[in-house]
Amino acid sequence: MKKYMLLLTAAVFGVLSATAQELIVKTDSTKIEAKVIEITPENVRYKRFSNPDGPTYVLPVADIHYIRYANGEMEYYTRSIPATPLVPATPVASEPAVQIPDDRYVLKTYEIGELYDRNGVKGVVCLLTEDKQHGLVISLDELYLPWSEFRKPDLCVVGADDRTDGTVNMEKVAQYIEANDLTWNSFPAFKWCREKGEGWYLPAIDELLTIGHNYNGGTRIRNDRQARNKFNDALKGAGGERMDRMVYYFSSTEMDEKNAYTSHMSMEPPYVVEIPKYNRFLVRAVHKF
């Protein structure tokens, strides 16, 4: 399994030149001179080398061909896969299989913006694995809710600090509720997602960021109205509500005792803003498939 790591700053090492920079080369050959701040399985956070005190940008790993670091090392994120003969695949019980004329089977693949309606789970596909057979669906509806009800002097850190998997944060909230003799009413956003049924949860910030990128066609560098329309049409066609591009959505990832991370679906950065947990902002639930 590929290991991902948080890149330490030059100040920590004390040996890198102040002018050191990384080069991010995207899959479309675009080059970005940058200072990489953090790499996660889904995204790379960076600042433009020409504006080190400016905003932090977020780029999906899927859009990156390779990064050349300041020390000359190269890290590739896409690779060529040699062609192999097609052999029959064994259908998996949890996934639909399609039979083609010569008795071979292929598992169903999905597209971003496609309606998913299986096994009691209904939503729009918003995130996919590389093989496009699994991913996340987002709920058809949304609601303005606070992350939690706590205000001064009762502000608290719950421990829901996972950036990549909202199910981990849901479990942390559940543990906090049990340990402090509370109810889910203290965490309205989590309660709303949980009450949709088993497996529904409030997405972590990296999941929410990726949803925003995918909603805009996979990147926010160019305006892809067609991708957004496809996503919204699927929501409306199933009786749901279109995504809101002007309002921030709560993630399940908390920053500190007062704030949680939020993101939006619009084109313009910054894509991540911390907002007091007791404020009401939009909430959408997600479910893995």
**CATH number of domain containing 37:** 2.30.30
Residues 66 and 168 in one domain: no
Residues 53 and 148 in one domain: no
Q: Which residue has the higher pLDDT, 144 or 93?
A: 144
Residue 167: what pLDDT?
98
Domain boundary among 37, 53, 76: 76
Residue 275: what pLDDT?
97
Domain contains 91:
no
Domain contains 121:
no
Phi/psi of residue 33, nearest 5 degrees: -80, 120
Q: What is the overall mean pLDDT for the chain? A: 85
Domain contains 92:
no
Domain boundary among 76, 99, 120: 76
The model's confidence at residue 101, banded by pLDDT at 50, 70 and 90, is: low
Residue 54: what pLDDT?
82
**Could you tell me the residue range of the domain that residue 218 belongs to?**
143-288
* pTM, entire model: 0.66
- 156 to 27, 67, 151, 258, 261: CA distances (angstroms): 43, 39, 9, 7, 15
Q: Are 98 and 91 in contact (CB under 8 A)?
A: no
- 113 to 1, 189, 206: CA distances (angstroms): 29, 24, 19
Residue 27, classed as helix, strand or coil, is coil
Retrieve residue 115's tokens.
Answer: 């309606």
Domain contains 110:
no
Domain contains 126:
no
Domain boundary among 53, 76, 99: 76
Residue 92: what pLDDT?
46
Domain contains 86:
no
How far from each other are the two terminal CA atoms of the chain, in whole angstroms? 21
Q: Are 96 and 111 in contact (CB under 8 A)?
A: no
Residues 64 and 162 in one domain: no
How many Å apart are CA 180 and CA 263, to the nearest integer?
Answer: 29
User: How many distinct structural domains can be found in the chain?
Assistant: 2
Per-residue model confidence as pLDDT tens digits over 27-81: 777 889 899 988 887 888 888 888 888 888 888 888 888 888 887 777 877 643 3
Per-residue model confidence as pLDDT tens digits over 174-204: 999 999 999 999 999 999 999 999 999 999 9
Residues 147 and 267 in one domain: yes
Residue that is written with structure tokens 């057979």 in the block: 133
Residues 45 and 168 in one domain: no
